[in-house]
Amino acid sequence: MFIQAIVLAVALGLVLGGSLRNLSNLKIDGIYIIIAAFLLDAAGIWSVRLGLVSIGQITFVIDVIMYVLLLVFVLKNIRNPYIVTIGLGFLLNAVVIFANGGAMPVGAYAVHAAGLNLDVTTQGLYVPVTAATRFWYLGDIIPYTFLNINIISVGDLVTAAGMMLLIITNMKRAENMDIEITSLFGTGINRQ
């Protein structure tokens, strides 16, 4: 879903008159931290899928490390409101994951509505939603079938919105700065 959000954001940025070149001016601190967090998450998911580990203490520790890395990334970029929005999405996912023993609850309705017929517990760090699930409404309960089949959470939607706003805003940023400076000084001076 996040790849589609990035592609859609770039397309919208271009339609709104932005430039891909402006993304080279995007200042994000600690990008290596978020890459490490997602690689760690992928390692945990594949370890479960391959049967190397079961959901439990090891996967809980993986989640703790991953979310600490994500928190550090957001704190390094705390002045960027769009990265803070992305961080809010991470937080929403973290709440439901840690409230349910380190695994993301997945709604049966969403599994079937997305056309999936699989045991979610074998697919990664997931558990089915039950009557005992805490914060089930923050779990993966939204079927997603645009360009691929998946199940997403409210946190995923918030994260995707933050990513899209970050991209679109930065694609348009240089043009807006030129317009503001031109109107202030009557020239095309560029502050960059």
Count of domains observed in the chain: 1
Considering all CA atoms of the chain, what is the largest pairwise distance in Å, rounded to the nearest integer? 66
Is 127 a domain residue?
yes
Is 20 a domain residue?
no
CB count within 10 Å of CB 98 equals 16
Whole-number pLDDT of residue 188:
47
Segment 162-190 mean pLDDT: 64
The answer, yes or no, to whether residue 120 has pLDDT greater than 70, is no
Q: Which whole-number Å values give the CA distances from 18 to 11, 12, 33, 123, in the listed order?
A: 9, 8, 28, 39
Is 135 a domain residue?
yes
Is 8 a domain residue?
no
Mean pLDDT over the full length of the chain: 85
Which of residues 78 and 25 earns the better pLDDT score? 78
The answer, yes or no, to whether residue 135 has pLDDT greater than 70, is yes
Is 14 a domain residue?
no
Is 66 a domain residue?
yes
Is 6 a domain residue?
no
Is 64 a domain residue?
yes
Segment 102-118 mean pLDDT: 79
Question: Domain range holding 82?
Answer: 37-172
